[in-house]
Structure 1
Amino acid sequence: CVAVREVIEVRIAHLFDLSVVSPFFFVVLFSVRVKMKSSALLLYCLYSLLSWHEALIYCKERRMELATIRNKEDHNRILEVIKKLGMENGEKSRMFWIGGTKLHSSRGFFWMSDGDQVSYTNWLNGQPDDYDQSQKCMAYQHGWMNDIRWAWDDNFCSSALSFACEYCW
C-alpha cells in the first residue's frame, strides 16, 4: 500500500459468521475505504474477540492481512479510522490486534504481511516488555500506565482481542 491521502467513506455492516465466533456473538464489521495515491485500502476493525493467530487466519481467509503500520502516515491513517469509528478515547475497544509479531524471537518484531522487519515503531511507554518472555504479538492499545494514547503493546498471542484487517489493491 502507498501513503493515504484521506478517508473518503465509512460504512458499517453487520455479519453473523458462525465459522469465526460462537452463535452468541454478533460480529460488527466496520469498512473504511481510504483514498490512496495509486490504489485503495479497506480497513476492517472487527469487534469479535479472537486470538492473534485466529485473527490472522480470519483476515487471510478473506484475502486480507492484519494491519501493517510502516510509518507515521500509516499510524495517522489508523488514528483517523479510530476517530471516525468513535474509538478515539478507548470507549468501544481499548486494544486490537495488528500484524506485527516476533514469534521467531531472534528476529525481533516483523510484519506478517511480507516478513519485513519492523523499522518504524510507536510503542507505549515501557513497551515492548515481553512479560514472562511470552508476549510475541503486537496490538494497538489505548493507554498504559501514564501513557494515554493509541500506541503499540506486545501481548500474549492467545489473548482474545478485536482486530484490524486491511485489503490493499
Structure 2
Amino acid sequence: MTTDTTDLELRTSRQLPAPPDVVWDVYTDAEKQQVWFSILDEEPGIVRIETDLRVGGRQTAVWGPSEDQLFTEVQTFVEVDPPHRLVSDTVASTPDGQTMTTRITLTFTARDGGTFVEVHQTGFPSVEVRDFFVEMGWQGAFDRIEAYLTRG
C-alpha cells in the first residue's frame, strides 16, 4: 500500500487478489458489502446498506456497535464505469451528529493477476480526520475486502 496525504486530500492504493470485475462487484454490491464490512469484527455490530448503482443513484450505509451509536454514509454516484472507475460525493455522519462531505474517486486496474485499486479522496475538514481515513478507514476497508476475497 502506498499513501500520499498532501493538502487535506488523500491518495492510497492496494493490490487485491482478484480480477477487476470481481473486486468491483465485492466493493459495490450491497449484500457482499454487508458481509465484508464486518468480516474482521470480533463482536457483530449493525450493518445496513442499500445501493442504487447508477449516475445520480445513492448508496446509504449505516453501521455501528449498537442502534444508539450508528455512523451513516450517503454516497451520490457522479460517475459509474464498471469495473474501472467509481466517483461519488459522500456525506458521512458520526453518532454525535458531526458531518463531513468528501469526493471519492476509485479506479480498478488489472495488474499482476489481480486488481490495483487507487483511491483519491478530497474535502477533509482537518489533517486529523484525513489521517484517520488513511490509517483506519481505507486500510480497514482494504483489509476486509481482501479477507472476503481470500476466505476459504
Normalised TM-score (structure 1): 0.28
Structure that is richer in helix per residue:
2
Normalised TM-score (structure 2): 0.30
